[in-house]
Amino acid sequence: MSRNERRRRRKRRVAARKAALIALILAGVAFTSTTLNGGKDGATKEELRPVEARWETAELVKASVEHPIPELENVCIRIEESLYQEQEEDPMKPEDIVAELVAQGYYRDDVPLDYELQDYLHLACQEFDVDYYIMLALIEKETAFQNIAGDGGRSQGYCQIQKRWWAGLMDEIGATDLTNPEDNFRTACAIIASHIEQFGSVEYALTAYNSGSPGTSQYAAKVLELAEKWRKVS
């Protein structure tokens, strides 16, 4: 598979996931009490058709997500319930959907990243099958949740990645800019996933991430400790 093909596939995956949430938000906003009640205020079948089309679109987009995220699936269920409630109140509004994502633990106010960055991290962890709390802990350990340069400018971004060591991997996954949070998170998750596969444990993977060689280390122990902290308060 060529580099351009990999990039196109990756863009389609990310776009589909984001489109799923956007489409569901739009679907929720589009439904009104009039349409929910089958046009009792005079709406005809023809007038209802655009709403039905929007609902069908939301369903198709949701089905296109390759790796559903449980918290988003729960919100989808809540939206579906609101769409079929025959009552006078409005269905879920965008702010209600965000509140539901907070309630499900997908977005967290105690995480020092805004919701968009939390979304990027969730998607990166999902894409490379890496534990979300491990990555939160790694970011906390590396930069205390800051998008900065370290090691004289050689280490970049939230996860302090040196491109000179990981240019080949970045090319493979379609990441180009380590100061871009999405590229930074995806690259870090890809590195951790590769180390876990190669060395057989999260602890060894974390040590290799920090020092280049697998094994036990104070660094790995601290990241694992921080991960449990985030897990317990979730």
Q: What is the pLDDT of residues 93-117, one digit of tens each?
A: 888 889 999 999 999 999 999 999 9
Q: Residue 184: pLDDT above 50?
A: yes
- For position 94, what pLDDT does the model report? 80
CA distance 152 to 136: 24
Which CATH number does 115-232 carry?
1.10.530.10
pLDDT in tens, 71-88: 666 666 666 666 555 454
- For position 233, what pLDDT does the model report? 81
Q: Residue 146: pLDDT above 90?
A: yes
Position with higher pLDDT, 117 vs 11: 117
Query: Which structure tokens are listed for 75?
Result: 């919100």
Position with higher pLDDT, 31 vs 227: 227
Query: Which structure tokens are listed for 106?
Result: 């997908």
Residue type, 164: R
Mean pLDDT computed over every residue of the chain: 79
Residues 6+ apart with CB under 8 A from 165: none
Domain with CATH 1.10.530.10 in the chain: 115-232
Query: Which structure tokens are listed for 119?
Result: 């979304």
- For position 118, what pLDDT does the model report? 97
Highest mean pLDDT range out of 6-15, 47-56, 75-84, 112-121?
112-121
H helices present in 144-180, as ranges: 163-173
Instruction: Give the strand pairing for 161-162 and 155-156.
Output: antiparallel
> Which one, of 128, 132, 131, lies nearest residue 117 by Cα?
132
Q: Residue 39: pLDDT above 70?
A: no
Residue 150: which H helix or E strand, with range? strand 149-150
- Whole-angstrom CA distances from 138 to 27, 105, 166, 184, 199 are 37, 19, 17, 12, 18
- For position 76, what pLDDT does the model report? 64
